[in-house]
A and B are shown apart, each in its own frame.
Chain A
Amino acid sequence: AQSVTQLGSHVSVSEGALVLLRCNYSSSVPPYLFWYVQYPNQGLQLLLKYTSAATLVKGINGFEAEFKKSETSFHLTKPSAHMSDAAEYFCAVSDQGGGYNKLIFGAGTRLAVHP
């Protein structure tokens, strides 16, 4: 069965610093991987997705993620943090069994950006 582990429930960075949010997955089949962002009092919004095309995936708001099969990782990065990036971020893997491709989510990482 697929699973997702996000290392670090809270990450704090300075404005302008590199953002690195870690995600490791477990999957017995080639995975489809996603990063979602949740701003305060809002639903989840798709940042980017990996679907076995390019291993480096670019998303919205300057975020990108690299799929590394050897490390079973899909870490999210952004070169320069902005105050508006403060949110909770969820990594998810698509469970492809049972005829319905449901999402298995990690526990989430809350990103704080300070001046």
Chain B
Amino acid sequence: EAQVTQNPRYLITVTGKKLTVTCSQNMNHEYMSWYRQDPGLGLRQIYYSMNVEVTDKGDVPEGYKVSRKEKRNFPLILESPSPNQTSLYFCASSPRSAGGINEQFFGPGTRLTVL
């Protein structure tokens, strides 16, 4: 089954304790993204990757890191989490497209609480 998987689905942690949220897709997509979803703000892009070893900042990158060492994986790293990073996080992937038709496939989400 074609899918995007994320782990963990739920995470409660404390301020300053490094954490990683994993994301994996089995569709051989070139593009991958991380979004955070907050009430009243919709989804905002954190980082994206256009291919292996190619990553770039989205709209809200502060406090986050990513890496893309393999095509299928795109982990999100919080080196020193803070309470304002409490949010619902989504990973998404999409195939390369020439015409801007960018259907993205989303993972199930990771609900993170930072105390």
Contacts and interface: CB of A to CB of B under 8 A. Distances in A.
Contact of A100 (B4, B44, B48, B106): B48
B101 A32 contact: yes
Given A101-B97, A102-B33, A105-B43, A45 B102 contact: no
Contact of B100 (A32, A43, A45, A108): A32
A interface, how many residues as a size bin?
Answer: 20 to 34
A96 B44 CA distance: 16
B27 interface: no
B12 interface: no
Nearest to A44: B106
Interface of A: 4, 6, 9, 32, 34, 36, 41-46, 49, 51, 90, 94, 96, 99-103, 105-108
11 contacts: A6-B42, A42-B108, A43-B108, A94-B102, A100-B48, A100-B50, A101-B97, A102-B58, A103-B43, A105-B35, A107-B42
